[in-house]
Every structure is written in structure tokens, then in C-alpha cells.
A and B are shown apart, each in its own frame.
Chain A
Amino acid sequence: MGGLTVAGCAAADVVAAVRAMAATVAEHRTELTHLDREIGDGDHGENLAKGFAAVLAKLDAATPETPGAVLKLVATTLISTVGGASGPLFGTAFLRAATSVGDTAELDATAVAGALEAARGGVVARGKAEPGDKTMVDALTPAAAAATETAEGGGDVAAVLAAAAGAAATGAADTVPLRARKGRASYLGERSIGHADPGATSVSHLLAALAPWTS
């Protein structure tokens, strides 16, 4: 998309953001699946790629009119196409983000940060995971906090997303030495140590896709 330097983020911009996410997931599919093979059941990359491919098909067929409607379409599509626990978790994240932005036609930095906080809250509520459990929450929590801090400091949408992406990448990398306490990886106990969590890694990739898109 390139060149979103204005303060606002309309439905078309959110569609472009989602397309960027889909491209990233397709690109990192093998890496995510490999990570998941180490400490999960080896289908995370494939499932997420399948989900975002379905999202692209939906976006080709319809043009939602508000940012919230785009996010809701992503939510409903991911939940019915991504299997296991990831479908409900990612679906809930996008659904809560959609609810958070409501009918707003154009999202400002505060709304974007609010959507990330809402997404984080939804994942925590649904998965009952806390920071340090070696889950996607470990990437989402610092990302939402950094986004909020940047928005409160007067940063624009691009700055908020860049801060979120940076914090998510650090959060995902920090899951490597952790022992999993939630999800399938927790069955492995000590053996989950030494690998990045696939869920946290995919969150990091998704947010990283938005940073170049805004600059």
C-alpha cells in the first residue's frame, strides 16, 4: 500500500492491511509449521495459511464498508477455516477488535491501539493464558502495551503499528527459553524450552506485515 502517513485508516486501508497479513502468512507457512512440529502438532502454518487464503477469497467477493466490518469478516472466516484452538483464538482476536472499533469510518491511532488491546483481551479471556505461559499472549501483550503508549504519546497510526510490531517481535523471541504452560505444547513440559512459540511467532509476523505497509 505504501504512503499511509495520514492520521486515519479507512476500510480500504484495513483491507490492504489484511491482504498484507495474508501474504506474510503464506510466506512464513513453512517456518510456522516447522516451529509447530517442534512443540505442537505441526499444522499451525498450514491452518493459518488456509484461513487467510479463505479471507482473501471473501475480500475478493465483497467489499465491507467500515474497518469494523472488515475485521468481523476476517474473524468469522478464520474461525470457520482455521482448525484446533487457533481458529477460535485468532477469530476472537479479530472479533473483539471489530467490536472495539464499532462503526467508525476511519480509525485514528487511539482506535488502532484500542483494537489491539481488545484483541489481546479476547485471546486472554478465551485461552485463559497469561504472559509467560508461552502462547500468542506473549507477543500480543507487549504489542498492545506499546501501541497504547505510542498513541498516548501522540504517535500516528504508522508509529502505533511500528511500535506494536517491534514489541511483538521481542515478545515472540522471548518465548524461546519459556516452558509452555498452556496449549498443546504444555504436554511437552521441559521439552518445550528452547523453541519459539508458534502462536507468538505468527502474531509477530502478522503485526510486522503492517509496519512496512504504513510507511
Chain B
Amino acid sequence: MTVGLVIVSHSAALASGVRELAAQMAPGVTIAVAGGTDEGGIGTSFERVTTALAEADSGDGVVVLYDLGSALLTTETAVEFSDPDAAERITVVDAPLVEGAVAAAVAAQSGTDLASVATAAQRAGASWDDAHGSGATAVSDASVSDASVSDASVPDVAVADTAVAGAGGAAVRRTATVADADGLHARPASLLAREVGRWSGTTVTLGRAGEPAVPVTDVLQLIGLGVRQGETVEIAASGEDAEAATTTLAGMIDAGLDR
């Protein structure tokens, strides 16, 4: 199963740039772009969106991300004009364009279904709100990345913690030391997220010992931890493949991913 993505932007360059970034972390996912007007100006084109929707649809569904107001109007209209069967497989997600595209692409790469890919993009919006939201009027530089990972109100963190701590002691924990020179930045994080996507019945979290952990499937939160080379992290897993998942991930982190 591979869900496709469509990036709708007022600017052709912006749409291509978002695709370039997301594709680096998810090389196997079809990411179609609909940027600019038919004449190549700033705006959105019904024709381009319609073409991109068809291009991204392999039958497993399409997640659409857009930049500003009328991009949504154009997208919704294109969906309404689509063949009803195809329209059912299209989900338009309101999320920050870059974060949403990266999260959705990594989720699609791991082979999850349409609803899961859409949720991944939506959660990207939730973590963004959390870091930049109304709670902190003056955003102090040091607190931004901490807030995005430690705030217990992020639903998937809370869920993952419960699953690991509960489950009748089924949690498996393993530590690993980060070998990558640049730490767990975007590419290593996306590789870990994709790996975890293979074990659908297993929940895996990662964090520094004694600190709140984040779900490994959430590439944005993983990057947000800011883990550097030489730091030790704890991987915790529950579910049927907990043993294999922790062993594999610890091995990957110890060996270094960015090669």
C-alpha cells in the first residue's frame, strides 16, 4: 500500500521545494505538485490540481496539503469534480505545509493506510500549534523545542506512554548511543520512523532516560528532541514485535544511520 501526496501551492517553486524536501525522506512515495496558475503566475489552477490528484492516485488514496485560502477552494472544487470513486480516496488535510508534507510522506513510505497518513499530517499541525500556540505569548528560544516534546497535552505522546507503561509489564526497553555526527536529525529520524512503520502491532517510543519519550513514528517530534551524537537514548516498545523492534532500532542508532 502506498498513499500518494499532492502539494497545492500558490507558487510553483514552493510546491516543488516542499516535494524535494519530503521526497528525500520518503523516496518511494508519489508526490505530485500543483503550484501556480496555468500561465505560471502566483495562484492556484484547477487544471493543475486535477492533474496532480490523478497522478498521485494509485488506488490506495491521496492526501492533499495546501498553502493558503483559495488553494483550499480550488482543491475542494477539484475533488467535487472528480470521479466519485476517486473522490472518496482523497483526504484534504489542514496542516502546516512543510511539516505536514514531511510527516505524511514518511507515514506513506512506511506503507500505512490513507487514514493513518492523513493523521500523521494532522498531528504535524498539532505539534506545531503546541510549540507556537497561544500558551506561550513570548516564545523564549530555549523553551520551543522542549515544549514541543514535553507537553503532556500532545495526544499521541500520552497514548504512547500509557501503552508502554501499561500492557502488564510487556514493555521492552533498550538503550542505544547515537553514532551519527549530526545526531538524530531529519534523515536518521525518518529512517527510524519508517522502520517502526513495519511493525504495525507494536508501539515504540524514544527519549532520553528519565525524560518524556515521543512516538518513533512521529518524525517531527523525533527531530524535535534534538538528540546529539554521543547521547544515550532509551527505546521502549510494547506489542507483539517489541523485542525485534527495540533490537533493530538500537542496532541502527548504535551503528549510525546517516551513511
* Chain A residues packing against B (C-beta within 8 Å): 75-76, 79-80, 83-85, 87-89, 91-92, 95, 126-127
Contact of A87 among B46, B69, B76, B80 (CB under 8 A): B46
A88 neighbours in B (Cβ, 8 Å): 46, 70, 73-74, 76-77
Given contacts A79-B46, A80-B46, A84-B70, 10 further A-B contacts (CB under 8 A): A83-B43, A85-B73, A87-B46, A87-B77, A88-B74, A91-B77, A92-B77, A92-B80, A126-B76, A127-B73
Nearest CB in chain A to that of B45: its residue: A80
Q: How many residues of B contact A (CB 8 A)?
A: 14
Question: Is the Cβ of A87 less than 8 Å from the Cβ of B81?
Answer: no
Question: Is the Cβ of B73 less than 8 Å from the Cβ of A89?
Answer: yes
Interface of B is mostly: helix
Instruction: Give, as a whole number of angstroms, the nearest-CB distance from B79 to chain A.
Output: 11
A79 neighbours in B (Cβ, 8 Å): 46, 77, 81
Nearest CB in chain A to that of B75: its residue: A88
Interface assignment of B202: CB less than 8 Å from any CB of chain A: no
**Counting chain B CB atoms within 10 Å of each CB, which of A85, A88, A126 scores highest?**
A88
Instruction: Give, as a whole number of angstroms, the nearest-CB distance from B206 to chain A.
Output: 40
A-B contact count (CB 8 A): 37
B69 neighbours in A (Cβ, 8 Å): 85
A84 neighbours in B (Cβ, 8 Å): 43, 70
A83 to B45, CA, bound (A): 8
A83 neighbours in B (Cβ, 8 Å): 37, 43
Question: Is the Cβ of B73 less than 8 Å from the Cβ of A126?
Answer: yes
- Contacts A79-B46, A84-B43 known; A126 to B70 CB distance under 8 Å? no
Chain B positions 197-231 with a Cβ under 8 Å from a chain A Cβ: none
Interface assignment of B47: CB less than 8 Å from any CB of chain A: yes
Question: Is the Cβ of B73 less than 8 Å from the Cβ of A95?
Answer: no
A87 to B77, CA, bound (A): 9
Question: Is the Cβ of A95 less than 8 Å from the Cβ of B76?
Answer: no
- Contacts A92-B80, A95-B81 known; A80 to B47 CB distance under 8 Å? yes
Instruction: Give, as a whole number of angstroms, the nearest-CB distance from A197 to chain B.
Output: 17
A80 to B43, CA, bound (A): 12
A87 neighbours in B (Cβ, 8 Å): 46, 74, 77
B77 neighbours in A (Cβ, 8 Å): 79, 87-88, 91-92, 95, 126
B70 neighbours in A (Cβ, 8 Å): 84-85, 88
Chain B positions 20-75 with a Cβ under 8 Å from a chain A Cβ: 37-38, 43, 45-47, 69-70, 73-74
**Counting chain B CB atoms within 10 Å of each CB, which of A83, A92, A127 scores highest?**
A83
B47 neighbours in A (Cβ, 8 Å): 80
